[in-house]
Chains A and B, each alone.
Chain A
């Protein structure tokens, strides 16, 4: 049986009692609430050339029907961005007005032509590699966020829920992290039935197998969250009320982000959270589907950012996808799997209102393999800048095995630490 890293000198039972499974990084060394990294993954390969588009590039116009393209006028007219790349007229998809507002208020930075430099066009391999933080190795038994959590500087102890995957299951980026919780709805995160179940389960799942650790983790976190949830006089958890009269749209992404806002405000010590947003695999009739997806992304991010207005300085939210899509649209009015893509970074310490990266151009010979947007920024540069400047973690060599050529884009405020390319923790 595969066993997780075990806490040396400490029996499993004692570890559970002490809450050691939920590792303690809740507070910065000075005791103030720490910074928070939110990792939003657009599953299915978002068409970055239709989200943030070089609308006046002749190759862009020539390779796509207007149905799968952002234009400078007419029905598909995009929202013009200042401070674009390569002197081109970059525009956001017309359904992303909230993103445009965030960009204009300098909270959102856009990095284009970024991604995994491994040339895979397989969703599942690309996600796997990105989430394991590797270029080649699909068999690493930990996700990059797990290694981040294991190498973050120690912090004072406290009640805390440091890392959370919003949703039912655990994404690969947290693979091997026995302290990370999966939660979809806080007020519903509880054990039902006979009151004695919790205690007997506590004593039945005491080994150090995957199952035992998952069970202990679930039991301790259920109790912890139930302790922390604001209750009314009848001891019933109160419904969550967002700030600034924010109304979250009805969508899974918005629900996830709302749960996250609630967790941030509960001050349970959150450091890292992941959120998934699926459905971006638009091989056919992309136009309508993409508009809905873009709208869903934009309105949810807008609502969330407004709701956490008192915590924005601590939050850095990154949006990425496994790869972008083919420059040329197919005969189904869709796009097939491509390569380079756009990444978005939102937060109070983001130097937003600006596009970053190097635009490689869309001439045939400028494309990757003559078909796809080339990658000019390794996605790890972007993640590393967040780790270095916002998350106080310089262990790039450990978190991204084999990585050694970090290049800052300077889309964040903060002082970069001395980089550690050593592959040890």
Chain B
């Protein structure tokens, strides 16, 4: 193939100077911060180094209300909305502030009013507002771990909010289900999810009636939300006695019959969406609703536990949630997932096991998840590895914005940039959520998109409506030479020592046709730096965590 030679020929001095490029981990504090935040800014690293990482982590586990800056950013944020009437004439073309993220369900539910028959753009607005709020919080919130955990749980309890019905209730899901429980108790969390309109719609339980029940929610409850498919004995199908431990009431895993029976337990769990059933009509509030007429009230057996027929309302479902939430396999599944998120794709078994102990010990604690996280983040293995994970696309983009302390005004275009890298922000179609392992994010297409996003996101062109940069503002007074500027920004963006070869190559890049000690004119500084800083974020050093 000829092309690589052509590439080298384009910039020979640089290639020569980078021969044997040496990739080294950053200091442990930086590694840790890059895992519990959306990017260790140099200011944050300095602050945490002074006061101690332990203190910082402890504080992060007990987040307070949003600080003033985030509140202001949220109140100032706007998004355009535009759509035509039935004849194609412009009906709405305006810029609106975020009105839906804090709205109560009763307000959001009006978007579904059948008489109003609102267009897609109005309904999908709720999702778009949550996305904007996520960007602003991820970039600016001092409570970074809460944002990281919110993303973790959105992914674990994935719903695809680009479905307009789910979009309209998505602010409630984000705020009152995911954010509210992200450091809380898993059993409580699970029930909040199971009763949320977003999940009832997404996994179809809202239409599940006896009989046959709709199995969608029950299957993913076992397979993805709780025990995980490592504990699925598909070959046993209906032979529950053959599951190890089953006859003693402690089956180690689940079978298809458990899914069928659990699906029956959740029949009648629905959304009060005004649906008609025979002579009855459900209320039309968007709240969770139990409709006894749809419930399968006969006896069931779930995970080796017999359930008598004709139990009180909701009792079958509550018991099913108890059984799966408190199952040891669930502890293993969830703790492994947390360790994969915070340590590496192949986390040390000892850390997973330690986390499982804490998880089970705090089964009834209101801060079960926070306790488990505290354990994981305080192990010596946390922050001991580096380079075995890449930043996922949202993390990558937010860390670019944090490293440059950009003033951002998010818009819908960001969603498209994420999707180029394979990240579908609150729109992942299947209930697995995005994979959390390195392989997945490294296709040729997404690699190119990861680099392209750097040059487009960090552009200082006035057409760029996503963020405003003033790189010059951070440069120490009097610093205007490529060699000094290059070192300054390497320290700031990469936060690690680099080899002289790398430094030289970066200086060469920044100086372009000029000399290393020749001043860059003040009026050209921002422009020159934007391309240079974009390059720094394209390096393996910035992409890896």
Contact = CB atoms under 8 A, between A and B. Distances in A.
Interface stretch (A208-216, A242-250, A346-354): A208-216
A189 B448 contact: yes
A162 B345 CA distance: 29
A269 to B, nearest CB: 11
Nearest to A222: B448
A193 B4 contact: no
A210 B213 contact: no
A211 to B, nearest CB: 6
B532 to A, nearest CB: 9
A331 B209 contact: yes
A334 B237 contact: no
Leading 8 A-B pairs by shortest Cβ distance: A19-B1, A193-B455, A223-B3, A182-B443, A214-B442, A199-B11, A332-B207, A218-B447
Contacts of B538: 197, 201
B214 A334 contact: yes
Specify which of B204, B443, B543 lies most central, judged by the most chain A CB atoms within 10 Å of its CB. B443
Contact of B209 (A182, A192, A226, A332): A332
A236 interface: no
Contacts of A226: 3
B54 interface: no
Interface of A is mostly: loop
Contact of B455 (A168, A181, A194, A209): A194
Interface stretch (B227-235, B278-286, B331-339): B227-235
Contacts of B219: 121-122, 336-337
24 contacts: A118-B234, A120-B234, A124-B430, A168-B443, A169-B441, A181-B444, A193-B531, A199-B8, A199-B11, A200-B509, A204-B540, A211-B543, A214-B447, A217-B444, A218-B445, A223-B4, A278-B429, A283-B203, A284-B214, A331-B209, A332-B204, A332-B207, A336-B212, A337-B215
Interface of B: 1-8, 10-11, 14-15, 18-19, 21, 23, 203-204, 207-216, 219, 223-224, 229, 232, 234-235, 237-238, 256, 259, 294, 345-346, 387-388, 390, 419-422, 429-430, 432, 438-449, 451-452, 454-456, 505, 509, 531, 534-535, 538-540, 543-544
Given A16-B4, A207-B23, A284-B204, A121 B256 contact: yes
Contacts, number: 230
A227 B544 CA distance: 31
Contacts of A181: 443-445
B494 to A, nearest CB: 12
B232 A336 contact: no
A319 interface: no
Interface residues of A, number: 80
Contacts of A199: 7-8, 10-11, 14-15
Nearest to A124: B432
B11 to A, nearest CB: 4
A22 B229 CA distance: 35
Nearest to A18: B1
A119 B235 contact: yes
Contact of A124 (B223, B345, B534): B223
